[in-house]
Amino acid sequence: MDFLSDTAFIYIILAAVFGIFMAWGIGANDVANAMATSVGSKAITIKQAIIIAAIFEFLGAFLAGGQVTKTIRKGIVDLNAFEGNPDLLIWGMLAALLAAGTWLLIASMKGWPVSTTHSIVGAVIGFAAVGVSVDAVSWGKVGTIVMSWVVSPVLAGAIAFAVFMSIQKLVINTTNPLANAKKYGPAYLFMVGFIIALVTIKKGLKHIGLDVSGGLEFVYAGILGLIVALVGVYLIRQVKFDEKAEKRFHFANVEKIFAVLMVFTAAAMAFAHGSNDVANAVGPMAAVISIAQSGELASKSSLPPWVLLVGAIGIVIGLATLGYKVMATVGENITELTPTRGFSAEIGAASTVVLASYTGLPISTTQTLVGAILGVGLARGIAAIDLRVVGNIFMSWVITLPAGAILSILFFFTLKGIFS
């Protein structure tokens, strides 16, 4: 343990540096996904998206990001494999953070929307399987993650397809689209508020010790949904309609109404994402800090508030500096998005996250959103989708897990050589 105590401070500094690097990658890639549909549909500008995300991602990550976190994300590694060698776990977690952050940097530079969850999972698998033992990895959990690659985008796409078709039936393909947009807009907003409230209650509040269950989560979500709908009614009444634009494009004012609705989805998605995905960066950080300070392995470790602060700041910086590339891929290049289409996609993605929180299926925010956008595109016909862009995205998903693993192995043995 003298070895650990002598280098504890160095490990904590490295954990903070690598952790903010990983959080930066989450901001550049995953947060950009959450904002992409709002930006791509022209509901908000990139500058507005960065401001909204900066506020709500930060609040979600810092306020609801968790006081206690598992030292090993999603039970991928067996702690017993590190008994007597806690230094291996420290090197491994540092390597995993650096590997996942590096892969997210590469992917974000290319504009690929990859999964931050799968990046860190692949990195942890890599160092554990090669640096410790193949048996140290829970391969059943890996199989579940691979299954989620198929399930989450398909489910999100199906929901987005259904929502967009309902908008077409209730609003677009009617004799008075504008009147029906005003009529049904608040109902759709209630659905947004209800779903996002469930995401936050089930995946956010539990991190700060507030476990709402027994059906109360539906009551609270219903109340919040009603509040959002009422605020939406007020804002819709403030919209200034353009008769000239309406003559040029029959649905111009309808899209204006749905642009208002998308501001709500952008803010709520950012908060829910921040409260959930910040763990991808601070989970390994907490493991390193806990072992460095105590010299012992623990199944759970207290999470110092400054660790959440580091994660929150890193996420915001990542979005502001490089997020625009992934926003362009997801929000503009897959299929042409309007506020009605973008709104449908965000509902599909959010609904899938809610369902996953109840079933315990580890899904990717990236994949659900891309799947939802594909669902909206399919509602307009296969010709509306740029299949070349979709093919590149799928390829980036496939190589994310092995890429994270290979980089993690390289960094693990580098760190082992430096500190052993």
For residue 93, CA distances in Å to 98, 108, 195, 396 come to: 9, 22, 34, 23
Residue 69 bridge partners (DSSP)? 301
User: What tokens appear for 168 in the block?
Assistant: 């077409």
Angle between helical axes of 339-359 and 139-167 (0-180°, round to 10): 140
Listed by start position, the domains of the chain span 2-419
Tens digits of per-residue pLDDT, 67-86? 434 434 446 777 777 777 88
Q: What is the mean pLDDT of the chain?
A: 79
Q: Does the pLDDT at position 213 exceed 80?
A: no
Length of the chain counted residue by residue: 420
pLDDT at 360: 63
pLDDT at 207: 53
pLDDT at 409: 95
pLDDT at 98: 95
pLDDT at 22: 92
Q: Does the pLDDT at position 358 exceed 70?
A: no
Start-to-end C-alpha separation, the chain: 13
Angle between helical axes of 86-110 and 387-419 (0-180°, round to 10): 150
The answer to whether 320 and 54 are in contact (CB under 8 A) is: yes
Q: Does the pLDDT at position 272 exceed 80?
A: no
Supply the Cα-derived Rg of the chain in whole angstroms.
22
Distance CA 275, CA 403 (A): 26
Q: Does the pLDDT at position 185 exceed 70?
A: yes
The answer to whether 253 and 246 are in contact (CB under 8 A) is: yes
pLDDT at 73: 44
Q: What is the model's pTM?
A: 0.77
Q: Which amino acid is at 267?
A: A
At residue 196, what are phi and psi to the nearest 5 degrees?
-65, -35
Environment class of 404 (CB within 10 Å of its CB; exposed 0-12, middle 13-18, buried 19+): buried
Tens digits of per-residue pLDDT, 216-240? 888 988 999 999 999 989 988 888 8
- Does residue 327 or residue 128 have the better pLDDT? 128
pLDDT at 261: 86
Distance CA 220, CA 240 (A): 33
What percent of the chain is predicted at pLDDT more than 70?
A: 83
Tens digits of per-residue pLDDT, 287-318? 788 888 776 766 555 667 777 788 888 888 88
Distance CA 276, CA 270 (A): 10
**DSSP classification of residue 28:** I
Distance CA 165, CA 418 (A): 58
Rounded mean pLDDT, 363-382 = 80
Distance CA 326, CA 348 (A): 19
For residue 319, CA distances in Å to 33, 61, 113, 322 come to: 10, 14, 13, 6
The helix, strand and coil proportions of the chain, stated in percent and rounded to the nearest 5, come to 85, 0, 15
User: What tokens appear for 117 in the block?
Assistant: 């969850």
Q: Which among 312, 310, 67 has a CA at the least distance from the CA of 205?
A: 67
Distance CA 175, CA 386 (A): 32
Q: Does the pLDDT at position 411 exceed 90?
A: yes
Confidence bin at 321 (pLDDT 50/70/90): confident
User: What tokens appear for 407 in the block?
Assistant: 């980089």
pLDDT at 66: 53
pLDDT at 199: 67
- Does residue 182 or residue 354 have the better pLDDT? 182
Number of H helices, E strands in the chain: 15, 2
